[in-house]
DNA sequence: AGAATAGTGTCTCTAAGACAGTATAGA
DNA sequence: TCTATACTGTCTTAGAGACACTATTCT
């Protein structure tokens, strides 16, 4: 049988089919605090609980990246080709993760500069940027039962994986700049690292270090119009450089527990 | 509407469905050369071309990890709970990647010690460990038209992504030991790094470095029964330690092209 | 004036890499 | 005996972190 004949004869219904969704872990920084975009579910299952924005992939029409970009744009109201970084995170397919039917979810991770408040989509009664710390996530991706906003499905686990990926990405890629506008100061860049890593960094050493990494940032020649809120000189302005990887990397101090 | 009522009323056919497969990039080292497990396709499409082992997920019965372990076991004939490392790689869902119908493929990456020759599965006319270098993959995941074994679907891209992931994993995790039997020598461990990274390493410095990383390897007190093939003293034997991450990491020398 | 901050200088310590050297095995 | 190899010693250099210090801005 030729391949053409085979295709003409083909019956897709012979194969098991599943619904596939994309879910987006969209992170941004507001007022120096890491936030994630969540939607409040207006329908069962998990009605009234909060979930990652997402939806069904338009099979045959779009690829996974496009589906994720579409979902993110629908929730944030942002036009897609903005300065947002979007990358695939992982896929989740445990039986029973959705009580309705088997669903495979391809999760994406997005970083963006401070964005406007989202508008609620069709299937969400509300949508908001929520401080990640307010969700009380544990390292294993669990969420205590008493949390004010409890996440639906296995989204606490997905968010936890996304946060861990984000922390790692800041070490060896210049993606911290994706959280900032087109020009920024080194103290602003340091604030990104501090709130994603949740660790205080030494200002002087950080300053010297980011300048020493080739292609990380490049100066614009300008400075901020005024000093900081509590005083201090005007800071020089920088934009993102052309490096795709940081070398040497900015490693966060590893604790003994992380290693074993 | 209560959640129970909703579920009773639910009609899954309202949602778009896709077939979901798992494909496994299984790597091992034979005679000092990195090999990947491939199957020759016995059916259209891509009949006679080589592909990564994989198959449809048994929806509702197994999760993605279990599906990948099952497919790998079916192809290699190995019982699952062996010393093989298996982790999710990424998902691929471009429209048209399978000419029959839309298919989302969740790719997995496996490392294992030298394994027996595979047996052909039901839908494969042949299966074999193939030297990765013989496929002529380019960095972008393309394959030259004149290659002796041309890969089906987008499997050249998936394999390329898997190789890049493997190279990175050796830097900051102790997974190089997954390519070796339960006890091994430091020169054997070095050979793993050299053939995955495709770079010669300095024997003396490598030796000192792996011993200095806490929890990477631990001595057994024994040595090999005889020296090397071309002479030299007996090497001490080690087993994998309890570290999950290497700190400090074993970084491969970064070239300027990788960074920009 | 006082406090906070941007940015630089300097010192110490760790770790990577280059290289040399010794001991032990096979041919 | 000759060669290859396991393993160790030593030197140099890069880079991370601690600390100090100056200059600039806000209150």
SS3 for B204-220 is: HHHHHHHHHCCCCEEEE
Q: Which nucleotide is nearest to B214 (CA to C1')?
A: C15
Domains present along chain A, CATH in parentheses? 12-169 (3.90.79.10), 173-259 (1.10.10.10)
B12 has a pLDDT exceeding 70:
no
Nucleic strand D near CB of residue B32 (< 7 Å): no
Average pLDDT over chain A reads 88
Confidence of residue B221 (pLDDT cuts 50, 70, 90): very high
Contacts of B131 by beta carbon, 8 Å cutoff, 6+ apart: B33, B34, B35
Nucleic strand D near CB of residue B160 (< 7 Å): no
- A138 by Cβ neighbours in 10 Å (0-12 / 13-18 / 19+) ranks as exposed
Average pLDDT over residues B76-90: 81
- Rounded Cα gap, residues B77 and A217, in angstroms: 52
Contacts of B99 by beta carbon, 8 Å cutoff, 6+ apart: A3, A7, B45
| pLDDT of res. B167 | 97
Average pLDDT over residues B132-150: 85
A2 has a pLDDT exceeding 60:
no
- Stretch (H or E) spanning B105: strand B103-111
B57 contacts on A by Cβ (under 8 Å): 16, 18, 93, 104
Please, are residues B190 and B203 in contact by the beta-carbon 8 Å criterion? yes
| pLDDT of res. B79 | 61
| pLDDT of res. A80 | 56
| pLDDT of res. B17 | 77
B176 has a pLDDT exceeding 70:
yes
| pLDDT of res. B74 | 87
- Rounded Cα gap, residues A22 and A19, in angstroms: 10
Nucleic strand D near CB of residue B187 (< 7 Å): yes
- Rounded Cα gap, residues B39 and B25, in angstroms: 11
B212 contacts on A by Cβ (under 8 Å): none
Nucleic strand D near CB of residue A204 (< 7 Å): yes
For residue B120, the 8-state DSSP code is P
Per residue in A67-82, pLDDT tens?
Answer: 999 999 888 776 655 6
Count of other CB atoms within 10 angstroms of residue B229: 6
Nucleotides of chain C touched by protein CB (<7 A): 2-10, 15-21, 23-27
Please, are residues A220 and A239 in contact by the beta-carbon 8 Å criterion? yes
* Helix extents (H) in A173-218: 186-197, 203-212
A92 contacts on B by Cβ (under 8 Å): 64
Nucleic strand C near CB of residue A209 (< 7 Å): no
Chain B residues 84-113 within an 8 A CB cutoff of chain A: 88, 90-95, 99-102, 104, 106
A122 has a pLDDT exceeding 60:
no
Interchain contact B139–A (C-beta under 8 A): no
Nearest to A153 by CA among A21, A25, A50: A50
Confidence of residue B5 (pLDDT cuts 50, 70, 90): very low
A95 contacts on B by Cβ (under 8 Å): 59-63
Interchain contact A218–B (C-beta under 8 A): no
The number of angstroms, rounded, from the C-alpha of A148 to the middle of its chain's C-alpha atoms is 22
| pLDDT of res. A9 | 44
B211 has a pLDDT exceeding 90:
yes
Confidence of residue A3 (pLDDT cuts 50, 70, 90): very low
Interchain contact A62–B (C-beta under 8 A): yes
| pLDDT of res. A4 | 42
Of A99, A215, A258, the CB nearest to B7: A99
Residue of B18, B48, B218 to mutate, interface with A, max A Cβ within 10 Å: B18
Please, are residues B192 and B179 in contact by the beta-carbon 8 Å criterion? yes
| pLDDT of res. A154 | 96
Given an 8 Å threshold on Cβ–Cβ distance, is B259 in contact with A215? yes
B77 has a pLDDT exceeding 80:
no
B16 has a pLDDT exceeding 70:
yes
Confidence of residue B64 (pLDDT cuts 50, 70, 90): very high
Average pLDDT over residues B228-253: 93
Residue of A101, A173, A245, A246 to mutate, interface with B, max B Cβ within 10 Å: A101
Residue of A6, A9, A44 to mutate, interface with B, max B Cβ within 10 Å: A44
| pLDDT of res. A79 | 61
Residues in a beta bridge with B55: B22
| pLDDT of res. A224 | 96
CB pairs under 8 A between A and B: 147
Give, in Å, how far the C1' of C10 lies from the CA of B125. 69
Place of tokens 């000189």: A233
Nearest to A213 by CA among A179, A249, A181: A249
Average pLDDT over residues B121-132: 78
Nearest to B75 by CA among B27, B30, B37, B43: B37
- Lowest-confidence segment of A102-106, A119-123, A220-224 by average pLDDT: A119-123
- Lowest-confidence segment of A10-19, B70-79, B247-256 by average pLDDT: A10-19
- A149 by Cβ neighbours in 10 Å (0-12 / 13-18 / 19+) ranks as middle
Question: Which pairing describes strands A19-30 and A103-111: parallel, antiparallel, or unpaired?
Answer: parallel
Per residue in A237-246, pLDDT tens?
Answer: 999 999 999 9
Average pLDDT over residues B235-252: 96
- Rounded Cα gap, residues B148 and B68, in angstroms: 27
Average pLDDT over residues A121-144: 83
Chain A residues 182-201 within an 8 A CB cutoff of chain B: none
């Amino acid at each position: 049988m030729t391949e053409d004949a085979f295709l003409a004869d083909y019956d897709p219904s012979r194969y098991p089919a599943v619904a596939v969704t994309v879910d987006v872990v969209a992170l941004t920084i507001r007022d120096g605090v890491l936030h994630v975009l969540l939607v409040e579910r207006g329908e069962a299952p998990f009605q009234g609980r909060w979930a990652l924005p997402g939806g069904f992939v338009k099979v045959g029409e779009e690829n996974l990246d496009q589906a994720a970009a579409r979902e993110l744009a629908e929730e944030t109201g942002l036009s897609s080709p903005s300065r947002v970084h979007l990358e695939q995170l992982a896929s989740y397919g445990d039986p029973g993760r959705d009580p309705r039917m088997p669903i495979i979810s391809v999760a994406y991770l997005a970083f963006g500069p401070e964005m406007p408040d989202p508008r609620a989509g069709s299937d969400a009664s509300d949508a908001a940027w929520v401080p990640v710390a307010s969700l009380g996530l544990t390292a294993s991706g669990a969420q205590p039962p008493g949390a004010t906003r409890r996440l639906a499905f296995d989204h606490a686990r997905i968010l936890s994986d996304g946060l861990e990926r984000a922390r790692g990405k800041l070490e060896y890629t210049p993606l911290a700049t994706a959280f900032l506008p087109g020009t920024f100061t080194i103290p602003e860049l340091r604030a990104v690292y501090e709130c994603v890593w949740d660790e205080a960094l030494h200002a002087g050493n950080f300053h010297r270090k980011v300048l020493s990494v080739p292609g990380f940032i490049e100066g614009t020649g300008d400075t901020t119009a005024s000093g900081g809120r509590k005083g201090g000189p005007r800071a020089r302005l920088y934009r993102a450089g052309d490096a795709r990887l940081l070398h040497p990397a900015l490693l966060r101090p590893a604790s003994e527990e992380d290693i074993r």
